[in-house]
Every structure is written in C-alpha cells, then in structure tokens.
C-alpha cells in the first residue's frame, strides 16, 4: 500500500498557565499586578464568595432559600475574572459565578433574592449594565457576542470609549451550539469578547470526559479561529492575568479570546443534586488538595503577611457583612403580585389590563 | 409618487429608520451585498455600510441571540430570518431571553429587537419555505407579533416595530410581497401597534384575517357585494396583543363572523380569537363563529399547497353557512 503524500497546512498548540501550584509555591515570577495588597484583596473576596455560598446552601437546607448553585472550589475563577474586568466592561454570566458577581458590585442580598425566588434581585443597584444570570446553558455566550458587537459599534461609529464583554460558562456549555456559534461569530467579526470556561469537571453527573473527545476545551477555540489558553483555575493569579491580557487584547481591537480555567466542583451541582451518586470519593479528595483558597493563604503566609490573627480578623469582618446581607434579604417583603405584569412590556398593552386587574383584585 | 410593493415598503421603512437612528442595525443571512433572498434589504449595505448592514454566519439561533445582547446595550437590532421554516433553532433565544429580559431584570434591561421573517405558503417553494406557525410566537408572554398585509401597513407597522421598546416578531406574508403596488409616503410616520384595521366596512358579516389571507377575504367580500351582502373585513395586523375591541365593535353591526388563516386549525390563532369572541361578545352572535384554516396536516409540498391553503371557495362556503345559520326555532 502506497501512502499518499500530503502537505501540512496548519498546526496548533495549546498552552497552559500557572503561577501558584497546589502547595502555594510560585512556579514562575509573578505578574506585575500581583502585589501583596492585591493578593490579600483577592484572598478576601474568595473567602467572601465561599462564605456567601456556604450560607446560601445552609439557608436552602432550612427552607429560607430556593435551589442554589454553589461555586465551592471555583472561587478563583469568579473572583479572578471579576477583578480583572474594568468597571466599564460588561459581564454576561452563567448562573454559577458568586465570586464574579461580588466583584462586579452585585450585592449579596441581591444574589440571595434571585435564588430566593425574587426577580428584583437581578435589578442590580450597581453593575447596572451587566446581564442577569442566564440559566439555559451557553445561551448567554451569544448575548455576550451581541453585547461585544454593540460595544465595538458604539466605539467605532458613535465615538464612545472602547469596552469589552466577558461571558462565562461551564464545561458542559462547550457542547452546545450557542457556545460554538458565539466564538465563531466573535472570531469572524473580531468582537471585543472574552469567553471564560469554568471547567469544573462536571455537568451535573456527566464528567468532563463524557462531553467531548477533545483533549482540552481551550482547543475548541481553534475551530473558531481565535486564540485560547488553559489556565489553572485554582490559581487566582493565573486566572486574573489571563483575563487581564485577553481584555487588553479586546480593548486594543485585537478581537476575542477564550480561556479554559481548570478546576473542580467541590459541591453538588445545586442544592437539588446529590453528587455522591456519581462523583468518586478519591477524585473529590484529590481535588480538595488543590483547592484555590488554601494555596493562596499558604503563599501569603510564606510572605509573612498572613497568619491566624489576620485570618480571624477577616472572618469576623466578612461574617458581619454576611449577617447584614442575610438580614436585608430576610426582611425584604415579597413583591406585589401585580409586578409580574409591570415589567412584561414597557407599557402594559390594553389587552392584558383585565388580567392585571383580576390579579390586583385577588391579592 | 412612486408605487411600491410590500417588500419595497419594508426596504423603505428600514432605510428611513436607519437614516433617522444610528442605533438601528440590520443583519441576517445574505442581507448585505445580496440584499436578502427576497431583496428586502436591497441597497441598504451600499447606503449605510457594512458596519450597519451585516451578513452573519449561517446560524439562526445565533442571529436571535446576538440581537438580545445588542438590544440590551441600547442598539435597535433588526434581524432577518430567511424563512419562517428556519426560525425554530432561534425559538430558545426568543422565548427564553428576548421576551423575558425586561421582566427578569425588573426593567433594568430591555430587548427592543425586531425579528423579521417571510412566512406563509403559495409561492411554490421547497419544504420548510411555506410555514405559517405564528401561533407559536403568539403564545409567548412578553412578545409582540405583527403581520402587515399591504405596502402602506408594512411601512408603517415596521417603523412602529423598530421604535417599540419591546421585542417584536414581524412576519412578512411573502405570497403578497409583490402582489400589489401602492403609493406609500416615505414620511417616517408609523402606524399604531396593538390595533386592528378595518379594511372594508359592512353590516352583514365580519371576516377576520391577517397577512396574505386578506387577499382572499377581500375577494370574498367583493363577490358578496354583488349579491347585496356587505362584509366587514378586519386585518388583525398585531396578532399579539389582540385588539378585541375592533372585533366586538364590528360584531355589534354584523353579529356573524368567519376567521381565516393559513396556519393549521388546532391551537391556531383563530381559536384564541373565537374564544375571546365567546367570552366578550357571545350575546352579539347570531351564528357560531367559523374558522377557515389550513388543515391539521404537515404543510404539503407545493403541488398540493393549493388544496391546503384556505381559498375563496372554502371561505365562501363557510360564509354562506354562517349567513344562513338559524338557531333552533328563532329564525
């Protein structure tokens, strides 16, 4: 058998970025932003995100909150992404992004309101332009591409300052058309979009290996013609730096990019799930040894700027913030039933006024 | 003044609004250089540039989804789907997001997007090119659903749809894209949404239709007039929200009603209109409301589409039955 000769047309590589390994040791010189003060601030926010999630799960278990998707173990991604974004950039998230929401200025009581069954939670007092949580998988990535188009258009055609959009999704999201359609368009139209994949190894019960034969999720960007990178998603320094560079590229007109942040879901999919049905215990144990908070704390301790005293003080401060948010959440009265009509359209069409009045009369 | 077709009126409305408002963006498959497969966007890219009239990659769900993102940031996206039969991948984005953004954020963000699609049968097209599935959209809370039936109404209603602060699905009856020419003043004046139009006044029976079916409805009214029977013809125009008042006003005169649509009968929009007539105007009726619709079958390939579509003979039969109906012993 004669093997035909072929020409190599293209070849690709996928790079991986890490600064801080699981034992809290640096694997290379840290980037400029990573000053002790900044790292302490990131550690604080990751700790807060974990406390917010932990309290949410406890409230759900005691009937004070609806179904809740914790981001336990994935705090470095949310916080890293949120902290690297400029205030003016626009965030188009999935539903498992506690750390990022807090960074964007979403209030803890707003997060609780959303999962407590109250749309008013998404009427963010800050982060006014950020998109709300998107529950259907990957759909938000197309919104992100549309937002990025609008930001580019307003910059180029209407003279507004350049801004970028950041969208996020999980490993399962990369199996959906919305994901591919979004990165394909973003590449074709050179949109200022950063796509962050929170690869937490699980889409409810399906492990990452069941989603795709691809060796990495980052390589899916190759098919869209956009640059991509895999980062250690438990290393907040790597996440922050990767997002920062991707945003710099987007702001400079260099177009979109994709970041696959590799982590592990240390919790159930949501409070309605029981991961012990499908998650092997040994994998979970190994994942706990790599989780993001401990390694950063170890590093900060090594610098001599962190210890039990600082940790206790931080915990005390954050508990106070959390208790206040819980108090506000619990004390917020239920919305009036007619609110379900009041934002259906800008002005309620006459055809629905009878139903509106009926509900008004019932309540 | 130029006489223009319905599809030219669409182009004219798009051009007027793009000229008036730099936030209006037009995009879809083949809408740029090619001007769309029906030429609805003909010349717009040459006039307004590739930045505002964009050919998208081929993905309907993507077209719907990016429109949501654009609209949340203050743009006025007008997205074209090539045929209604290809709109279904986009349903997720339209139903789950475009129609819900305002409510989900309690008014913080909104989605002023127009989704345009040619729809309906009768042009001898391949499978999936002749659908009338407007009821799918009528069922979605938070949407507006608009169907023009003449060049002037296409112009005025499309302007209104683009300026509307909420999402509008705008279905264009392609069978009458070029059926008639009409003078349309390019004044930028919008027609009201949420209002039906009385196309012909009459006192004996009310014929209710929208889009291309109005052609047959008006033809039936014309024939009836030769017999001295005066039919009132109503163009629903905005299918959601429904203008039941115009229908009730008409029934106060005519007491009899026939509904006509191309879409399948079961859960078709005619069922909703008949139900509302039952709820609000039962006492006015001298005969049960009849529906003349497409059959509850798959839209046939074009050799048999004439048998499927509600033509003049079927409408006339229903009209006669309704006119001749006498309730037990009272006639």
The predicted model gives A190-217 an average pLDDT of 97
Enumerate residues 6+ apart whose C-beta is below 8 A from B224. Answer: B204, B205, B230, B231, B319
Residues B204 and B176 occupy one common structural domain: no
A129 contacts chain B (CB < 8 A) = yes
Write phi, then psi, for A193 (nearest 5 degrees). Answer: -130, 135
Q: Are B83 and B129 in contact (CB under 8 A)?
A: yes
Q: Do A178 and B56 touch (CB under 8 A)?
A: no
Is residue B329's pLDDT more than 50? no
User: In which band, very low, low, confident or very high, does the pLDDT at B326 lie, cut at 50, 70 and 90?
Assistant: confident
Residues B244 and B316 occupy one common structural domain: yes
Residues B115 and B226 occupy one common structural domain: no
What ranges do the domains of chain A cover? 31-332, 337-363
Min Cα separation B61/chain A (Å) = 7
**Distance in angstroms (rounded) separating the CA atoms of residues A120 and A307:** 40
- Whether the ω angle into residue B241 lies within 30 degrees of 0, i.e. cis, is yes
Interface of B with A in 73-132 (CB under 8 A): 73-75, 77, 89, 92-93, 96-97, 101-110
Pick from B122, B156, B183: which residue ends a domain?
A: B183
Catalytic, out of B129, B139, B245, B255: B129
Q: Do B65 and A123 touch (CB under 8 A)?
A: no
Residues B82 and B154 occupy one common structural domain: yes
Pick from B154, B183, B212: which residue ends a domain?
A: B183
The predicted model gives B14-39 an average pLDDT of 98
A157 contacts chain B (CB < 8 A) = yes
Q: Do A122 and B104 touch (CB under 8 A)?
A: yes
Q: Do A181 and B107 touch (CB under 8 A)?
A: no
Is residue A190's pLDDT more than 60? yes
Residue A1's pLDDT is what? 72
Min Cα separation B102/chain A (Å) = 6
**Distance in angstroms (rounded) separating the CA atoms of residues A122 and A143:** 16
Active site residues of A: 265, 269, 278
Tell me whether residue B190 is in a domain. Answer: no
Q: Which of A128, A142, A343 sits opposite B106 (nearest CB)?
A: A343
B192 contacts chain A (CB < 8 A) = no
User: In which band, very low, low, confident or very high, does the pLDDT at A2 lie, cut at 50, 70 and 90?
Assistant: confident
Query: What range defines the domain where residue B70 resides?
Result: 3-183
Tell me whether residue B33 is in a domain. Answer: yes
Write phi, then psi, for B76 (nearest 5 degrees). Answer: -120, 80
Enumerate residues 6+ apart whose C-beta is below 8 A from A56. Answer: A65, A68, A70, A111, A112, A115
Least CA distance to B193: which residue of chain A?
A349
A280-to-A27, A87, A160, B10 alpha-carbon distances in Å: 29, 40, 51, 59
Cα B174–chain centre separation:
10
A66 contacts chain B (CB < 8 A) = no
Is residue B1's pLDDT more than 90? no
Residues B142 and B215 occupy one common structural domain: no
Q: What is the mean pLDDT of chain A?
A: 97
Count Cβ atoms below 10 Å from residue A211 Cβ, excluding itself: 19
Q: What is the mean pLDDT of chain B?
A: 96
Residues B167 and B216 occupy one common structural domain: no
Q: Which of A263, A347, A250, A272 is nearest to B194 (CA)?
A: A347
**Distance in angstroms (rounded) separating the CA atoms of residues A318 and A280:** 33
Is residue A266's pLDDT more than 60? yes
Least CA distance to A89: which residue of chain B?
B73
The predicted model gives B34-46 an average pLDDT of 97
The radius of gyration of chain A from alpha carbons, rounded to an integer in Å, stands at: 22
Tell me whether residue B191 is in a domain. Answer: no
Cα A93–chain centre separation:
6
Residues of A in contact with B101 (CB under 8 A): 132
Residues of B in contact with A355 (CB under 8 A): none
Residues B21 and B124 occupy one common structural domain: yes
Paired with B54 in beta bridges are B27
Min Cα separation B41/chain A (Å) = 20
Q: In a 10 Å sphere around its CB, with 0-12 CB exposed, 13-18 middle and 19+ buried, how is residue B45 labelled?
A: buried
Residues B31 and B178 occupy one common structural domain: yes
Residues B15 and B130 occupy one common structural domain: yes
Structural domain tally of chain B? 2
Q: Do B97 and A134 touch (CB under 8 A)?
A: yes
Q: Are A229 and A17 in contact (CB under 8 A)?
A: yes
User: In which band, very low, low, confident or very high, does the pLDDT at B328 lie, cut at 50, 70 and 90?
Assistant: low
Tell me whether residue B86 is in a domain. Answer: yes
Enumerate residues 6+ apart whose C-beta is below 8 A from B79. Answer: B27, B28, B63, B64, B67, B113, B114, B115, B116
CATH number of the domain residue B219 falls in: 3.40.50.920
Q: Do A132 and B244 touch (CB under 8 A)?
A: no
Q: Do A123 and B105 touch (CB under 8 A)?
A: yes
Residues of B in contact with A177 (CB under 8 A): 59, 61, 89
Residues of A in contact with B141 (CB under 8 A): 344
- Whether the ω angle into residue B177 lies within 30 degrees of 0, i.e. cis, is no
CATH topology of domain A31-332: Rossmann fold (3.40.50)
Pairing type for strands B205-209 and B182-183 reads unpaired
Enumerate residues 6+ apart whose C-beta is below 8 A from B267. Answer: B135
A339-360 confidence digits (pLDDT tens): 999 999 999 999 999 999 999 9
Q: Which of A92, A129, A344 sits opposite B141 (nearest CB)?
A: A344
% of residues, chain B, pLDDT over 70: 98
Residues B278 and B151 occupy one common structural domain: no
Pick from B183, B216, B237: which residue ends a domain?
A: B183
Q: Are B122 and B152 in contact (CB under 8 A)?
A: no
B208: which 2 tokens? 């209710």
Residue of A120, A134, A139, A146 best to disrupt the B interface, most CBs of B under 10 A: A146
Residues B221 and B279 occupy one common structural domain: yes
Residues B105 and B60 occupy one common structural domain: yes
% of residues, chain A, pLDDT over 90: 99
A48-70 confidence digits (pLDDT tens): 999 999 999 999 999 999 999 99
Q: Are B130 and B122 in contact (CB under 8 A)?
A: yes
A143 contacts chain B (CB < 8 A) = yes
Q: Which of A136, A144, A346 sits opposite B96 (nearest CB)?
A: A136
Q: Are B258 and B312 in contact (CB under 8 A)?
A: no
Residue B2's pLDDT is what? 83
Residue B327's pLDDT is what? 66
Q: Do A143 and B65 touch (CB under 8 A)?
A: yes
């Amino acid at each position: 058998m004669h093997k035909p000769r072929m020409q190599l047309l293209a070849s690709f590589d996928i790079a991986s970025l890490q600064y801080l390994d699981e034992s809290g040791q640096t694997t290379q010189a840290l980037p400029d932003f990573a000053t002790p003060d900044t790292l302490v601030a990131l550690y604080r926010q990751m700790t807060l995100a974990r406390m917010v999630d932990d309290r949410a799960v406890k409230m759900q278990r005691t009937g004070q909150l609806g179904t809740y998707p914790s981001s336990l173990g994935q705090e470095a991604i949310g916080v890293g992404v949120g902290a690297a974004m400029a205030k003016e950039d626009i965030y188009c998230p999935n539903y498992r992004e506690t750390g990022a929401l807090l960074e964007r200025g979403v209030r803890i009581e707003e997060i609780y309101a959303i999962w407590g069954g109250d749309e008013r939670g998404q009427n963010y007092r800050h982060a006014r332009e950020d998109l709300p949580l998107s529950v259907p998988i990957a759909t938000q990535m197309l919104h992100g591409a549309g937002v990025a188009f609008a930001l580019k258009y307003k910059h180029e055609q209407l003279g507004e300052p350049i801004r970028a959009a950041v969208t996020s999704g999980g490993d399962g999201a990369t199996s959906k058309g919305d994901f591919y359609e979004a990165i394909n368009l973003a590449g074709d139209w050179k949109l200022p979009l950063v796509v962050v994949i929170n690869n937490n190894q699980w889409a409810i019960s399906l492990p990452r290996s069941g989603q795709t034969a691809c060796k990495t999720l980052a390589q899916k960007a190759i098919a869209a013609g956009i640059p991509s990178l895999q980062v250690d998603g438990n290393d907040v320094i790597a996440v922050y730096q990767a997002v920062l560079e991707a945003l710099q590229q987007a702001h400079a007109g260099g177009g979109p990019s994709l970041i696959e942040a590799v982590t592990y879901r240390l919790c159930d999919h949501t409070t309605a799930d029981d991961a012990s049905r499908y998650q092997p215990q040994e994998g979970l144990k190994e994942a706990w040894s790599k989780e993001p908070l401990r390694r950063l704390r170890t590093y900060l301790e090594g610098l001599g700027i962190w210890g039990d005293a600082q940790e206790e003080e931080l915990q005390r401060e954050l508990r106070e913030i959390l208790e206040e948010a819980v108090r506000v959440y619990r004390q917020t009265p239920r919305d009036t039933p007619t609110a379900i009509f009041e934002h259906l359209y800008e002005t309620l069409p006459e055809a629905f006024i009878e139903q509106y009045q009926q509900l008004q009369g019932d309540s | 003044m130029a006489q223009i077709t319905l599809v030219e009126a669409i182009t004219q409305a798009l051009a007027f609004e793009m000229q008036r408002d730099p936030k209006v963006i037009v995009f879809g498959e083949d809408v740029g250089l090619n001007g769309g497969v029906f030429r609805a966007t003909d010349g717009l890219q040459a006039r307004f540039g590739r930045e505002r009239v964009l050919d998208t990659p081929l993905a309907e769900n993507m077209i719907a989804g990016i429109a949501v993102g654009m609209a949340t940031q203050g743009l006025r996206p007008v997205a074209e789907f090539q045929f209604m039969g290809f709109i279904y991948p986009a349903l997720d984005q339209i139903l789950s997001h475009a129609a819900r953004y305002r409510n989900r954020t309690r008014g913080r963000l909104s989605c002023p997007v127009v989704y345009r699609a040619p729809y309906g049968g009768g042009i001898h097209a391949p499978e999936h090119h002749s659908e009338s599935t407007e009821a799918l959209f009528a069922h979605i809370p938070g949407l507006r659903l608009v169907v023009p039936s003449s060049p002037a109404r296409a112009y005025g209603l499309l302007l209104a749809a683009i300026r509307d602060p909420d999402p509008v699905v705008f279905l264009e009856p392609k069978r009458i894209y070029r059926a008639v020419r009409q003078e349309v003043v390019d004044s930028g004046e919008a027609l009201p949404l949420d209002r039906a139009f009385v196309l012909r006044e009459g006192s004996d029976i009310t014929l209710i239709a929208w889009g291309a079916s109005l052609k047959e409805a008006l033809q039936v009214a014309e024939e009836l007039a030769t017999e001295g029977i005066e039919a009132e013809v109503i163009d629903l125009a905005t299918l959601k929200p429904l203008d039941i008042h115009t229908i009730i006003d008409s029934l106060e005169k005519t007491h009899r009603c026939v509904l006509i649509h191309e879409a399948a009968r079961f859960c078709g929009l005619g069922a909703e209109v008949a139900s509302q007539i039952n709820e609000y105007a039962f006492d006015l009726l001298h005969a049960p409301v009849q529906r003349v619709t497409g059959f509850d079958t798959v839209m046939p390939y074009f050799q048999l589409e004439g048998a499927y579509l509600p033509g003049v003979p079927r409408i006339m039969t229903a009209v006669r039955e309704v006119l001749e109906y006498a309730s037990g012993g009272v006639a």
